[in-house]
Amino acid sequence: MTLKLDLATYLDDRRVAIDHALREALPNPETPPALLHQAMEYSLLAGGKRIRPILALASCEAVDGDPDRILPLALSLEFIHTYSLIHDDLPAMDDDDFRRGQPTNHRVYGEDVAILAGDALHALAFARLADPVVCPELDSASRLAAVYELATAAGSLGLVGGQVMDLRTTPPSSIDDDRPREGGRSIEIVEGIHARKTGALIRAAVRIGAILGDATPTQYDALSRYGDAVGLAFQIVDDVLDVDGNPNEMGKATGKDHDRLKWTYPDIVGVPRSRAIADACVQNALDAVSPFASRAEALRGIARYIVDRKI
Ligand code: GRG
């Protein structure tokens, strides 16, 4: 069996286990308010690579922790990710009609319920990490550290900050738009957006897996370097796929960044150089986890998968 096939099986097994656990973790869709719970379930169970919880499990494995044990807590990463996608698709943000090949949450449930479904998933992420009934054997110091990582990654220095920069760094799309704007066009600005909008949650995933697996401070630092490197690679590849990806495979339109005048890696340095930078990030990620020897095999495979992926 080749390494690629092993990785495909690994990712598939993890994804199936995560999908199953996500279904169990949600309130029953008939629980009042049923409309809200159905909207939450609609986006949460609409597919997706589940790469953030998978990274947490692989990171836990690298420090000799038990990934199956922490899986119920790793779901919190997918709750935050799904909330961010629902909000990102709203008319006030990227105004998208399709996500993962299906109509976006607000197209089905309306903007009001979509906003609230995102809010409820956001809250559920933290309730999950703090719930003493979920993984009761885990000590509260580790839980608290995981809450801190997730909250920091989700806030103004992470996801939300990156989203503001993403929305307001590019030029206004109409002369009537005189809302205040951020920064200017440079590779540093784009890297700053990517580090917050995408990198922060990916790094948090790796760190949370390390914390829940009882990592030493040295292991935590090495895994943080891995997380930073794969986070940047992930978003550069996302930018590139928006230029040369297959919309049918991806379940969404391509060319949107260009149409929205967004500043991306391909826009500033071109596709070949963007791919080369993503490859260099993967090399940095591989270097960061070399001390973990065979225990980091999954993390190595995931780093390569992130640049080779087609969706
Ligand atoms: C609304 C606070 C807030 C943040 C939105 C998630 C996001 C920030 C924007 C979505 C657009 C985008 C390109 C974000 C970068 C992160 C990213 C690549 C998301 C897509 O993640 P995947 O590929 O999606 O893991 P799946 O569908 O596999 O879960």
CB of 59 within 6 A of ligand 1: the answer is no
CB contact at 8 A, 161 and 196: yes
Q: Is 100 in the pocket of ligand 1 (CB under 6 A)?
A: yes
- Using one digit for the tens of pLDDT, what is the confidence trace for 230-281? 999 999 999 999 998 888 887 777 888 877 778 889 988 999 999 999 999 9
How remote is the CA of residue 201 from the centroid of ligand 1, in Å? 10
Regarding pTM above 0.85, the answer is yes
238 lines ligand 1 (CB under 6 A): yes
For the Cβ of 159 lying below 6 angstroms from any atom of ligand 1, the answer is yes
Taking the CA of residue 99 as reference, the ligand 1 atom at the shortest distance is 27
To test ligand 1's pocket by mutation, which of 197, 201, 252, 259 has the most ligand atoms within 8 angstroms of CB? 197
Task: Pull the structure tokens for residue 226.
Answer: 């891995």
Which H, E and C letters describe 56-121, residue by residue? HHHHHHHCCCCHHHHHHHHHHHHHHHHHHHHHHCCCCCCCCCEECCEECHHHHHCHHHHHHHHHHH
Pocket test for ligand 1, best of 79, 84, 94, 170 (most atoms within 8 A of CB): 84
Q: What is the pLDDT of residues 123-167, one digit of tens each?
A: 999 999 999 999 999 999 999 999 999 999 999 999 999 999 988
pLDDT digits (tens, 9 = 90+) for 186-234: 888 899 999 999 999 999 999 999 999 999 999 999 999 999 999 999 9
> How many Cα neighbours within 13 Å face the side chain of 109?
25
Please name every residue paired with 102 in a beta bridge, in sequence order, or none if there are none.
99
Tokens of 291: 């001390």
Closest residue to atom 26 of ligand 1, CA basis: 48
Write the pLDDT tens digit of every residue in 37-73.
Answer: 999 999 999 999 999 999 999 999 999 999 999 999 9
> Which domains, and CATH codes, for the chain?
7-308 (1.10.600.10)
CA-wise closest residue to 121 among 231, 42, 200, 235: 42
Cβ(192) to ligand 1 under 6 A? no
